[in-house]
Each structure stands twice: as structure tokens, then as C-alpha cells.
Amino acid sequence: MKIAIGADHAGFDLKQALVKHLREKGHQVEDMGAPNAEPSDYPIYGEKVAEAVATRRADRGIVVCGNGIGMSIVANKVPGVRAALVFTEKMAEQTRTHNDSNVLSLAGRDLPLDTNLKLADIWLNTPFSNVDRHVRRVGEIADLEKVHFKP
């Protein structure tokens, strides 16, 4: 799987660990920044990852900031992206099975490294359910984008 990944300074250390972890699992990972732990603005990197997913240059994306909230907000501004901030294994699984999320947002400062790696693995390995009600709801999200994101 091709994964785009980005983080601000608060998520830099987790991003670095994720890049290594995901490559060891056989994924193709495109690191979209930040290049270091110097203060940086999360919207820059969140948009890069979201654009890569929305344009299908990447199959999925992972964004990281201190608590994951800012990156989730940014990623969800890009049409075609369904970003989810998760803190539990159940959330990581259900955002894939129910929402077909294509961007994962993680908290670089608020959760331990091993928890974040586990959440990423669960999210990446969980398929969309294709259950009728979930397909319908994901379609309804796409319809909302057509109404609210006019070129």
C-alpha cells in the first residue's frame, strides 16, 4: 500500500517512527514533512497528505500533530478525504469498517508510541465493510461535498 504521511513539529518523532515501522511492514511510504522538529504549521503538512490521497497519488494517508485534532480538521477540508482521529483500537477499526476513512490522524504527544503504532496497524489492515448502510452513508458524505465544495 502507498501511504502519504505528514506531521508538524509536535508529531515529528511519531512520524519518523511510523515511517520506519510501515516500511518494515512492506508499505511504500511518502514522507511529506515536516523535515525536522523545529516549530512548523500543521496545515501545510495536513494539506499535502490529504491532497495526495484525494488525487490518488497515495492509497491512504496518516497525519500527526500533538493531539491529532488540528490535522484532522485540515485533512477533512480536502474533498474526497475522510479523516478520522482515533484513540482506541475500536475507533481505528470502526472508522475503516463504517466510514471507509482514508486518512488517519494520530496524537503524537497524547498517546504512547506503541499505542499509535498499533492503531495505525489496525487501521491499515481493516477493510471497509461494504455493508449497504455504510456504503449509503459514505455516499451521503460525498454528496455533501458536492453541495458545499463548489469550484
The answer to whether residue 112 scores a pLDDT higher than 90 is: yes
pLDDT at res. 151: 67
Rounded Cα gap, residues 63 and 84, in angstroms? 10
Catalytic pick among 9, 65, 134, 148: 65
Catalytic pick among 9, 21, 98, 134: 98
The answer to whether residue 150 scores a pLDDT higher than 80 is: no
The answer to whether residue 110 scores a pLDDT higher than 70 is: yes
Query: Is 9 annotated as catalytic?
Result: no
For 70-100, the pLDDT digits (tens) are 999 999 999 999 999 999 999 999 999 999 9
For 1-46, the pLDDT digits (tens) are 999 999 999 999 999 999 999 999 999 999 999 999 999 999 999 9
Segments making up each domain of the chain, as ranges: 2-148
Query: Is 21 annotated as catalytic?
Result: no
Q: pLDDT confidence of 149, banded at 50, 70, 90?
A: confident
In b/e form, how buried is each residue of 88-102, taking b as 16+ CB within 10 angstroms?
eeebbbbbbebbbbb
Rounded Cα gap, residues 124 and 104, in angstroms? 9
Helices and strands (DSSP H and E) totals, the chain = 6, 5
Q: Which CATH superfamily is domain 2-148 in?
A: Sugar-phosphate isomerase, RpiB/LacA/LacB (3.40.1400.10)
Beta-carbon contacts of residue 124 (< 8 Å; ≥ 6 apart): 1, 3, 22, 27, 60
